[in-house]
Amino acid sequence: MRHVFFTMGTAVSVDLPGVDSAGAALERVEGIFAEADHRFSLYRADSELSRIASESLALMASSAELRRTYAEALLWRNETGGAFTPHRPDGIIDLNGIVKAQTIERAGSELDDAGLTDWSINAGGDILCRGSQSPGVPWTLGIADPADRLALLCSVTLAGDRRAIATSGSAERGDHIWRKGSLEPTEFVQATVVASSIITADVLATAIVSGGGTSLDEFTARWSIDALTVDRAGNLRATPGFRGALATPRESPLLA
């Protein structure tokens, strides 16, 4: 079965192969996303993060969860040399680059706790999987073409500990990724990262777009990830592991 709902400015789909009903678990998953949206959305004037941005709430008076998320984002900023940052150029704290992945991870734990062994959660193209798409068939995920959102660049299969895939880029929202104060266009228009952790995949996809080829080389050497990038001329770069995970044309992908 597939369950779709809208939250955090995007569509979230939960696929449960071979399952006819999982109402209670899906209700809890929706609640996890709703709670995150209410706390972290900068599009909602009543969210905690919006109140911090408007200075009606002090950061130190915010919830422990918000402060933990901010602290984790700062650690990633340090680990990536600033290629990933939770701060907008105007200084406002924006945790969108990590919150969605954290929420996907929490929702996945909820499905595990419910005893579900085969599932995928897709939130705006960032996907975490467990088990298989059908008996003996690994999850197959399609990577959208930044030049044509109705087309696919390729499809990849997730196997072993590679359970997460995230894509970041400027194809849909323009050049919105901050680059240590630089106003120049990014080298890459899109980066896709495959990892064992959805948080690692999401953060490093953003950081690779922000940091360009130097960051791509550094991060793929430092972390156990595979990556595919698209530059402004349409050229592709893929790690050997990513090339090895390419799916055959016969396999039907979910869209990442």
> What's the pLDDT at 21?
82
Gap between the terminal Cα atoms of the chain: 18
Q: Which of 160, 161, 143 is nearest to 152 (CA)?
A: 143
| DSSP class per residue in 58-70 | -GGGS-HHHHHHH
DSSP state of 184: S
> What's the pLDDT at 252?
52
> What's the pLDDT at 150?
83
SS3 state of residue 43: coil
> What's the pLDDT at 177?
60
> What's the pLDDT at 224?
96
Global pTM reads: 0.92
> What's the pLDDT at 249?
56
The pLDDT tens digits of the residues spanning 201-229 come to: 999 999 999 999 999 999 999 999 999 99
Rg (CA), the chain: 18
The pLDDT tens digits of the residues spanning 111-126 come to: 999 999 999 999 998 9
Q: What is the CB neighbour count within 10 angstroms for residue 232?
A: 12
